Structure 1
Amino acid sequence: MPTDPRRLRGHAPLLDAWLAFQEKPIRPFTIPGHKQRLDLVGDVVAGDVPLYAGLDSMKLTRGVLADAERRAAAAWGVDHARFSVGGSTHGNQTVALAVASPGDTVVVGRTAHRSMVLALVLAGLKPRWVSPPVDSTTGLPLGIAVTDLDRACRQSPTPTAIFLTDPSYVGTLGEVEAWAGVAHAHGIPLVVDAAWAAHFGFHPDVPGHALARGADAVVTSAHKLLPAYSQGAIVLARGERVDLDRLDAAFEATHTTSPAGSILASIDASRALLQRDGAELLGATLDAVRSLRRRLQAVPGLVVLDGPAVDPLKVTLVLGGTGADGNAVEADLMASGMPVELADRDTLVALVSLADTADTADTAETLGALGDSLIESIARHRGPARLAVTAAAYAVTPEQAVAPRDAFFAEREALPLGATEGRVSAELVAPYPPGIPVLAPGERVTRSVLDALASARASGIRIAYAADPTLSTLLCLRDG
Structure 2
Amino acid sequence: MPTDPRHLRGVAPLLDAWLRFHEDAPTPFTIPGHKQRHDLVGDVVAGDVPLYAGLDTMKLSRGVVAEAEGRAARLWGADLCRFSVGGSTHGNQALALTVGRPGDRVVVARTLHRSMLLGLVLAGLEPVWVRPEVDAAHGLPLGVTASDLEAALAAAPDATAVLIGDPSYVGTVGDVGALAAVSHAHGIPLVVDAAWGAHFGFHPALPPHALAAGADALVTSAHKTLPAWSQGALLLARSRRISRARFDAAVDATATTSPAGAILASIDASRALLERDGEALLGPVVEAVAAARRRLAQLTGLVVLDGPAVDPMRLVLVLPGTGADGNEVEADLLARGMPVEMADRDTIVAMVTLADSPERVEDLAVALVESVQGRRGRPRPVVVSGVWAVDPVPAMSPREAFFAERESVPVERAVGRVSAEIVAPYPPGIPVLAPGEVVTVDVVEALRAARASGSRIAYAADPSGHTLDVVVE
The normalised TM-score by structure 2 is: 0.99
> One-letter code of the match for 1:434?
P
- Picking from 396, 403, 414, the partner of 1:402 is 396
2:378 is paired with a residue whose SS is: coil
Partner of 1:144: 144
Distance in 2 separating the partners of 1:226 and 1:178:
27
Distance in 2 separating the partners of 1:314 and 1:156:
35
Distance in 1 separating the partners of 2:92 and 2:145:
22
Partner of 1:241: 241
CA deviation after TM superposition for structure 1 residue 67, in Å: 0.2
**Structure 1 unaligned runs (5+)?**
360-365
CA deviation after TM superposition for structure 1 residue 231, in Å: 0.1
Partner of 1:393: 387
CA deviation after TM superposition for structure 1 residue 146, in Å: 1.1
Partner of 2:296: 296
The normalised TM-score by structure 1 is: 0.98
1:453 is paired with a residue whose SS is: helix
CA offset digits 1:95-122 (Å, max 9, x no partner): 0001111100000000010000010000
Distance in 2 separating the partners of 1:62 and 1:430:
43
> One-letter code of the match for 1:377?
S
CA deviation after TM superposition for structure 1 residue 389, in Å: 1.2
**1:129 matches 2:129:** yes
Partner of 1:166: 166
Distance in 1 separating the partners of 2:199 and 2:267:
13
**Structure 2 unaligned runs (5+)?**
none
Count of paired positions: 473
Judge conservation of contact 1:392–1:431 (CA < 8 Å) in 2: no
Distance in 1 separating the partners of 2:25 and 2:325:
55
**1:436 matches 2:427:** no
Partner of 2:281: 281
Counterparts of 1:38-77 in structure 2, within 5 Å, are: 38-77=38-77
**1:451 matches 2:445:** yes
CA deviation after TM superposition for structure 1 residue 245, in Å: 1.2
Distance in 2 separating the partners of 1:116 and 1:308:
27
Structure 1 residue runs of 4 or more that deviate by more than 4 Å after TM superposition: none
**1:92 matches 2:115:** no
Distance in 2 separating the partners of 1:293 and 1:197:
19
Judge conservation of contact 2:326–2:346 (CA < 8 Å) in 1: yes
Distance in 2 separating the partners of 1:402 and 1:278:
46
User: Could you tell me the percent identity over the aligned residues?
Assistant: 66
Partner of 1:210: 210
- The root-mean-square deviation of aligned C-alpha atoms, in Å, is 0.7
Counterparts of 1:262-341 in structure 2, within 5 Å, are: 262-341=262-341
> One-letter code of the match for 1:52?
Y
Distance in 1 separating the partners of 2:407 and 2:397:
18
Distance in 2 separating the partners of 1:143 and 1:2:
37
Distance in 1 separating the partners of 2:145 and 2:251:
31
Classify 1:212/1:157 alpha carbon distance in 2 versus 1 (closer, same or farther; 3 Å).
closer
Judge conservation of contact 2:447–2:465 (CA < 8 Å) in 1: no
CA deviation after TM superposition for structure 1 residue 39, in Å: 0.5
> One-letter code of the match for 1:370?
L
Partner of 1:421: 415
> One-letter code of the match for 1:199?
H
CA deviation after TM superposition for structure 1 residue 395, in Å: 1.9
Distance in 2 separating the partners of 1:393 and 1:27:
52
